[in-house]
Structure 1
Amino acid sequence: MACSKETLINHGVKICPSPQTQGRGLFTTRSFKIGDTIIEEQPLFSCQFSWNYAYGYSACDFCMRPLETAEENVRRLTANADIILPHPECDETDKSSHIICSQCAVTYCSIECKDHAWNQYHKTLCCNMLGGNPNHPLEKLNEAWKKMHYPPETSTIMLLARILATFIQRIDREELKCQLMSLCHHTANEEDTIAHKLLGSEFESQLELLRDLSIKALGRPETDEFLTPQGFRSLIALIGRNGQGIGTSAFSVWVRKVSENDIDPTTDSLIDTIYQEMEKESGDFLNNEGSALFAVQSACNHSCEPNSISSFPFSNHTVALVASKDLQEGEEIFISYLDECVLSRSRHSRRKFLEENYLFHCNCSRCQLEVDEPDMTSDDEESMEDD
């Protein structure tokens, strides 16, 4: 989705200053009913997490659509090769459309995704991709990142590599630069703090190592300004602050299709059993997971009482912003930066998490309503109850 001012208004939204955050926010230009899709947007950039890829989670290298069938997905995550899923018509994975890059063996879900990737960044990264020469700077860059950023993952250095490769390939670089710079503005101290959060306590030396490897892999005249110490820190801060998590799963699509069509109520117990076995074998890491940068959705501010939710209805990197409450014209659109578990915790716990991970003090309507709550985490409260 293009992000010109006219296009945004035509889609029922606009980006303008937010009175709550003193920064920018996303506002409605017309009313929406609960359940309405406010916008659908494809990212500027997206990329699967490095460890997620290394552990065999199979996704299109461009759009992150699952490449496994639902049955293959279940068998891998349960370590049970005997599971047979009924209703194969509910499986959306079409292996006949998959295509492999002949030069580096990267796999895409379709020729369209292959062409999009080639024209955006893959022409530069091809033959330097993961699994190739272990001594190539790009491979060293990815391995260095993995040693600094263990699961659960929140970002990937390969997203930054795609940004740099795109700058090398793009003709209209100023337009792309304006899009990136519009995502957020940080002070030097904020950028240091964000880099610290991503990389750990020894981030200064780690950041310089990543920058050096990035220069060796993707240093070109077109990328010079992003590979200075300040420019590189800014890019790390940008992907750290603005990265939107993506999760796709062939099995979850199959489950949704079975449920939507009421095909076979007897499968409910099978689904429950499979999820239990997957959790036992694979823990919480059930999806193809990655990160993306969105020009419009990234303008949404956080609220602990959101009026909208982000979802990925097409099982790829396209995000849909859906109203979870009725919205009036001129109302600010809020999403939650917290998952359901953290969102259910105490005010102090929520604000502590947001401060540590997003560098702001939440003063949303819910936090103001709960202002008289004691300053203790939910874990503290549970400990007091147990005593």
Structure 2
Amino acid sequence: MEDCGYEIRIINDEKGKGLFARRSFKEGDIIFEEKPIVCCQFAWNADYKYLACDNCMCPLENAEENARRLTGKTNLILPYAECCETKKELITECSLCGTKYCSNECLNDAMKKYHKTLCVQSRDKNDSHPLMQLKETWKQVHYPPETATIMLWARMIAYVNQADDKNLAQSLFNQFCHRTVNEDHEIAHKLLGEKFVGQIDVLRQSMENAMNIENTPNWFTPEGFRSLLALVGTNGQGIGTSAFSRWVKNVSALELPEEQRIQIDKFIDRIYDDMEEVVGTFLNNEGTGLYILQSSINHSCNPNAIVEFPYSNSTLIIKATRDIQFNDEICIGYLEECELERSRHSRQKALSSLYLFICRCDKCNSQADEDDVTSEEEDFDQDMSD
């Protein structure tokens, strides 16, 4: 990492590690891009027919199909078809189970990393298969909006099982933070809260029935399984992809006469209004992934960088949102932008339940004298439950 413009450093026992700039970055600069070790579409999202590559989450619908489904308007026609990025002619599938991929490259990558283990060997994915039972057990406990899926944990185990060097593969995951509680502040991770206590052992037994755990027995002790849940809960990066949003971006970049631009902008606005009536805010293929570099970046309520998915697949970029100087720590916001604008108390409440720390960033420190009042417009216990 000596020449790449950043490095991971150990900060202290409380914060652990962080990512620091080894050179200056201007606002808008891409600091790095990264593919996940593993990623997975959310279970409910897939069941609601959000069609994504099983390996990289690239959309499998073209923009017009995507817009028709989300608006409920089956006769909708999108102009500028050349602005759609979906290459349907490249879509392929597993010959045994029919799982779909955006390309042979993704199929081969999935086979190499985890799919040989997780392939149900049948196009009839019936409810009696242990993996299907595992997925259904998870869905009965975790309803939308989702923040995790049990199938990501299954892929982690399959990744280790298929690796040539199983110890090295497991060590990749062990480097992620996986503590279940913050003893200093008596915080337990949200996935391990009272609401789910009765389900954790059920999930553990369900996964033991569905997976070969011979290579990961330490993950299936009671405490080991809790740590496994917390690992994804504290490190999982949300992923969202959309064929229609990519079409919109490409259309917006076209050089058009003013009258034509006004018409297409109004057309796009109407489509988004129609989508909101039918599906609300659930517009994207949504899932989660584990990224080694991204997970080393600490949170700030006033971040100097942002996570983006510019290719509409699981490859992320970290982009500077303001100038970053040599030796500055690179920080992102773990919360959505609107959540970062809420009260200090609201931010602390969310960060402690999801990430097990009390934020002491400059913004929080400057607001330390504020009353501990939750923002009127939110209730994280309800809004962020699944």
Q: How does 1:33-182 map to 2 (within 5 A)?
A: 33-127=26-120, 132-182=125-175
TM-aligned CA deviation for residue 189 of structure 1: 6.5
Q: How does 1:236-385 map to 2 (within 5 A)?
A: 236-263=229-256, 264-265=260-261, 266-379=263-376
Q: Which amino acid aligns with 2:369?
A: D
Equivalent-residue separation in structure 2 for 1:213 and 1:241 (angstroms): 22
* Preserved CA contact (<8 Å) 1:129 1:139: no
- Could you tell me which runs of 5 or more consecutive residues in structure 1 were left unpaired when the two chains were aligned: 1-7, 382-387
Equivalent-residue separation in structure 2 for 1:346 and 1:187 (angstroms): 26
**Further displaced range: 79-88 or 255-264:** 255-264
Equivalent-residue separation in structure 1 for 2:182 and 2:208 (angstroms): 24
Equivalent-residue separation in structure 1 for 2:83 and 2:166 (angstroms): 42
SS at match of 1:25: strand
TM-score (norm 1): 0.91
* Preserved CA contact (<8 Å) 1:51 1:146: yes
**Further displaced range: 207-216 or 289-298:** 207-216
**RMSD, matched Cα:** 2.0
Equivalent-residue separation in structure 1 for 2:324 and 2:250 (angstroms): 29
Q: Match for residue 384 of structure 2?
A: none
SS at match of 1:246: strand
**Structure 1 residues 192 and 82: CA distance shift in structure 2, 3 A:** same
TM-aligned CA deviation for residue 130 of structure 1: 9.1
TM-aligned CA deviation for residue 202 of structure 1: 4.4
Equivalent-residue separation in structure 2 for 1:141 and 1:128 (angstroms): 16
Equivalent-residue separation in structure 1 for 2:105 and 2:112 (angstroms): 11
SS at match of 2:19: strand
Give aligned-pair identity as a percent. 50
Equivalent-residue separation in structure 2 for 1:218 and 1:113 (angstroms): 23
- Could you tell me which runs of 5 or more consecutive residues in structure 2 were left unpaired when the two chains were aligned: 379-386
Equivalent-residue separation in structure 1 for 2:121 and 2:181 (angstroms): 32
Q: For each residue in 1:180-222, what CA deviation from the matched residue of structure 2 results, as whole angstroms up to 9, or x when unmatched?
A: 111114156679922xx22653423311111111111112422
Q: Match for residue 385 of structure 1?
A: none
Q: Which amino acid aligns with 1:144?
A: T
**Structure 1 residues 129 and 260: CA distance shift in structure 2, 3 A:** farther
Q: Which amino acid aligns with 2:58?
A: R
**Structure 1 residues 340 and 20: CA distance shift in structure 2, 3 A:** farther
SS at match of 1:222: coil
* Preserved CA contact (<8 Å) 2:55 2:106: yes
* Preserved CA contact (<8 Å) 2:83 2:247: yes
**Structure 1 residues 113 and 216: CA distance shift in structure 2, 3 A:** same
Equivalent-residue separation in structure 1 for 2:199 and 2:192 (angstroms): 7
Q: Match for residue 208 of structure 2?
A: 215
Q: For each residue in 1:276-320, what CA deviation from the matched residue of structure 2 results, as whole angstroms up to 9, or x when unmatched?
A: 110110011100000000000011111111000000011100010
* Preserved CA contact (<8 Å) 2:180 2:230: no
* Preserved CA contact (<8 Å) 1:128 1:139: no
* Preserved CA contact (<8 Å) 1:214 1:227: no
Equivalent-residue separation in structure 1 for 2:83 and 2:264 (angstroms): 13
**Structure 1 residues 211 and 199: CA distance shift in structure 2, 3 A:** same
* Preserved CA contact (<8 Å) 1:249 1:315: yes
Q: Which amino acid aligns with 1:369?
A: S
Equivalent-residue separation in structure 1 for 2:50 and 2:4 (angstroms): 34
Equivalent-residue separation in structure 1 for 2:236 and 2:327 (angstroms): 26
Equivalent-residue separation in structure 1 for 2:54 and 2:327 (angstroms): 38
Equivalent-residue separation in structure 1 for 2:96 and 2:144 (angstroms): 30
Aligned length: 372
* Preserved CA contact (<8 Å) 1:348 1:377: yes
Q: Match for residue 4 of structure 1?
A: none
